[in-house]
């Protein structure tokens, strides 16, 4: 019997950000391993015309929760959605709800955050914010990391007699094993990059090829969160422990290796209707990166927009490409460096778990096989994010072949035009051309003469 699973039994748990990527996987694992828990309170805001209840039903109806419904058939009765907006005073929670939360909650997992890298501060009016932001954030690369650090500071200062712990994941990716491999549900971070690459929009990225691509599967993060929740409540460490859950120093994979495997997977499982043939070049050189942006990204977008205009349609590719390149450029600070994180507390916790808990709440990333994980990841993006049918794979492969032929044809034509122009303007190019042609002619004559002699 798992000690951690038993610990959550009968408990009332509050989760913020339960409608997000990590929050959903956390909720799923809690219900699956501790179906006898009392209640999970989730703080939710209405969104995209959906009420709180509709949002909860949509989560429970997803494939992610299929196994949960088998082990915990009354799961919908155990979720209590509470209206909240964390940007408002007292989170806009009603007095009654607040009272219930304060008197009943045993454990809190705070996952809510704005994960956009281009967000701005929201305390004052825009002009003042623009002026003070650089002074406030100083060496922090963006508002996201700066406000994360502020949040951690406030939590530690205000925690008083609460037992708290801080968990810092690196880049959170698709599920590795649970409840099934490859589950993803939003286009943030690596998911968006996989889509843009598979659809042939993004073919080169400014990233150091040998830098560690510190992706960590979401189920690994969730397993650590649940183990930390148990350890913090039972052992009550004297200080706030910070747990890093990263792959970099335990089982590193660099951007080059990741790119190669992603491309190999696209050969087997291509995405439907790609714009161009997928490619994944990484360079840390600014000049090369700008060249690729011009030739591989902007030029094809402009050409495609011309085609749309000529066929009476609205051009949209240049705008889309600019947005994509802007988003990718926000990641440059992180993907051009290798980061080192101490996993001391995470390894300490691993050694504290019973063999059964190590199995059920596995966060030992050393066991991860990157090639297998990346293949499942790409497949997951295709199935769960793009909702593409596997039956369409043969057609997608045909299209890729056509795109490859167009690519070769286009490059050959471009080369010949450039060569023709060069020959017209440069004596040296003409000499080289004459030398090549006469060399080929002599070689063919010799070849023909020697084969005639043999006969
Ligand atoms: N994903 C990563 O690669 C990564 C890496 C390191 C750390 N983290 C951290 O892990 C946590 C979860 O990230 P995630 O990837 O799950 O993000 P996510 O999918 O974007 O989910 C964010 C969650 O926060 C909620 N939220 C945001 N603003 C809110 C507000 N004002 N009021 C109420 N709820 C609000 C969202 O609710 P709505 O559904 O209503 O928008 C959503 O449930 C975050 O703290 C993030 O900083 C993530």
DSSP string, 77-111: GGEEEEE--TTSGGGG--HHHHHHHHHH--EEEE-
Q: Name the residue at shortest CA distance from atom 11 of ligand 1.
A: 111
State which of 58, 112, 165, 385 you would mutate to test the pocket of ligand 1, scoring each by most atoms of that ligand within 8 A of its C-beta: 112
| 265 Cα to the center of ligand 1, angstroms | 29
pLDDT at 451 over 80: no
Q: Once rounded to an integer, what is the mean pLDDT over residues 25-53?
A: 96
pLDDT value, residue 428 = 87
Q: What does the pLDDT read at residue 306?
A: 97
Banded model confidence at residue 123, pLDDT cuts 50, 70, 90: confident
Q: How confident is the model at residue 453 (pLDDT cuts 50, 70, 90)?
A: low
pTM, to two decimals: 0.92
Nearest residue (CA) to ligand 1, atom 15: 21
- Burial of 414 (C-beta count, 10 Å sphere; 0-12/13-18/19+): exposed
Q: Is the sign of the CA dihedral 188, 143, 334, 329 positive or negative?
A: positive
pLDDT mean across residues, the chain: 94
Q: Residue 117: what pLDDT?
A: 85
Using the predicted structure, report yes or no on whether residue 300 has a pLDDT greater than 90.
Answer: yes
Ligand 1 center to 19 CA (angstroms): 8
Q: How far apart are CA 238 and CA 261, in angstroms?
A: 44
What is the number of other CB atoms lying within 10 angstroms of the CB of residue 144?
Answer: 17
Hunting for tokens 């087997």 — which residue is that? 268
Terminal alpha carbon distance of the chain: 84
Asked whether the beta carbons of 145 and 116 are under 8 A apart, the reply is no
pLDDT of residue 103: 97
Six-digit token pair at 197?
A: 């690459």
Higher pLDDT, 441 or 364: 364
Nearest ligand 1 atom, CA 144: 47
* Helix, strand, coil content of the chain in percent (nearest 5): 60, 10, 30
SS3 call for 40? strand
| Distance from residue 21's CA to the centre of ligand 1 (Å) | 7
Instruction: Report CA(165)–ligand 1 centroid distance (Å).
Output: 18
Ligand 1 mean position, distance from CA 26 (Å): 12
Q: Which atom of ligand 1 is nearest to the CA of 148?
A: 47
Ligand 1: list residues with CB < 6 Å. 17, 19-23, 43, 45, 47, 84-87, 111-115, 169, 171-172, 186, 188-189
CA atoms of 296 and 324, how far apart (whole Å): 13
Cα of 147 to ligand 1 centre, how many Å? 13
Give the span between the Cα atoms of 190 and 173, in whole angstroms.
7
171-194 pLDDT, tens digit per residue, is: 999 999 999 999 999 999 899 999
What's the pLDDT score for residue 455? 59
Q: What is the pLDDT of residues 406-443, one digit of tens each?
A: 989 988 998 899 888 888 888 888 888 889 889 998 98
Binning pLDDT at 50, 70 and 90, where does residue 454 land?
Answer: low
> Measuring from atom 18 of ligand 1, which residue has the nearest CA?
20
pLDDT at 359 over 90: yes
Residue nearest to atom 8 of ligand 1 (CA): 169
Residue with CA nearest ligand 1 atom 35: 112
User: Can you give the C-alpha Rg of the chain in angstroms?
Assistant: 27
Q: Report CA(141)–ligand 1 centroid distance (Å).
A: 19
The string of pLDDT tens digits covering residues 368-383 is 999 999 999 999 999 9
Q: How far is the CA of 66 from the centre of ligand 1 (A)?
A: 23
Q: What DSSP string describes 271-310?
A: PSS-SS----EEE--HHHHHHHIIIIIIHHHHHHHHHHHH
Give dist(CA 420, CA 120) in Å, integer.
52
User: Which protein residue has the closest C-alpha to ligand 1 atom 9?
Assistant: 111
Please tell me the residue having the least CA distance from ligand 1 atom 19.
20
pLDDT score, position 121: 83
Atom of ligand 1 nearest to the CA of 188: 1
Q: 2 C-alpha vs ligand 1 centroid, how far in Å?
A: 29
Residue nearest to atom 1 of ligand 1 (CA): 172
**Beta strand 165-169 with 241-245: parallel, antiparallel or unpaired?**
parallel
Per-residue confidence band for 80, with pLDDT thresholds at 50, 70 and 90? very high
Across the range 46-60, mean pLDDT stands at: 94
- The ligand 1 atom at the shortest distance from the C-alpha of residue 91 is 32
Distance 222 CA to ligand 1 centre (A): 14
């Amino acid at each position: 019997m798992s000690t951690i699973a038993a610990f959550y039994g009968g408990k009332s748990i509050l989760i913020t950000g339960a409608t997000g990527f990590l929050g959903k996987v956390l909720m799923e694992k809690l219900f699956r391993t501790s179906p006898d828990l009392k209640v999970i309170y989730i703080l939710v805001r209405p969104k995209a015309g959906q009420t709180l209840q509709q949002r909860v039903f949509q989560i429970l109806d997803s494939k992610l929760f299929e196994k949960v419904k088998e082990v915990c058939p009354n799961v919908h009765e155990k979720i209590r959605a509470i209206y909240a907006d964390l940007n408002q005073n007292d989170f806009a929670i009603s007095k009654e709800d607040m009272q219930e939360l304060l008197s009943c909650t045993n454990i809190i997992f705070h996952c809510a955050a704005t994960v956009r890298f281009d967000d701005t501060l929201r305390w004052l009016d825009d002009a003042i914010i623009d002026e003070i932001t650089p002074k406030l954030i100083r060496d922090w690369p963006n508002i996201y990391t700066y406000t994360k650090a502020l949040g951690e500071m406030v939590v530690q200062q205000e925690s008083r007699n609460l037992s708290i712990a801080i968990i810092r994941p690196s880049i959170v990716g698709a599920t590795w094993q649970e409840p099934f491999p490859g589950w993803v549900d939003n286009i943030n971070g690596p998911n968006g990059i996989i889509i843009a690459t598979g659809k042939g929009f993004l073919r080169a990225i400014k990233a150091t090829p040998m830098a560690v691509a510190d992706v960590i599967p979401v189920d690994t993060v969730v397993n650590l969160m649940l183990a930390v929740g148990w350890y913090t409540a039972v052992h009550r460490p004297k200080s706030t422990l910070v747990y890093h859950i990263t792959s970099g120093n335990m089982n590193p994979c660099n951007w080059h290796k990741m790119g190669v495997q992603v491309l190999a997977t696209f050969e087997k499982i291509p995405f439907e209707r790609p714009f161009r043939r997928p490619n994944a070049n990484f360079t840390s050189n600014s000049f090369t990166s700008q060249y690729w942006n011009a030739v591989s990204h902007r030029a094809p977008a402009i050409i495609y927009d011309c085609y749309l205009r000529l066929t009476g349609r609205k051009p949209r590719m240049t705008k889309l490409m600019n947005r994509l390149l802007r988003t990718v450029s926000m990641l440059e600070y992180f993907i051009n460096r290798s980061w080192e994180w101490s996993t001391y507390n995470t390894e300490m916790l691993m050694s504290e778990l019973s063999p059964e808990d190590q199995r059920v709440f596995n966060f030992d990333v050393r066991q991860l096989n990157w090639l297998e994980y990346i293949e499942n990841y790409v497949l997951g993006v295709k199935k769960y994010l793009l909702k593409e049918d596997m039956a369409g794979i043969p057609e997608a492969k045909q299209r890729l072949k056509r795109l490859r032929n167009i690519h070769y044809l286009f490059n050959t034509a471009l080369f010949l035009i450039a060569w023709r122009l060069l020959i017209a303007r440069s004596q040296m190019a003409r000499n080289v051309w004459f030398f090549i042609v006469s060399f080929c002619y002599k070689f063919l004559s010799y070849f023909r003469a020697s084969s005639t002699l043999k006969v």
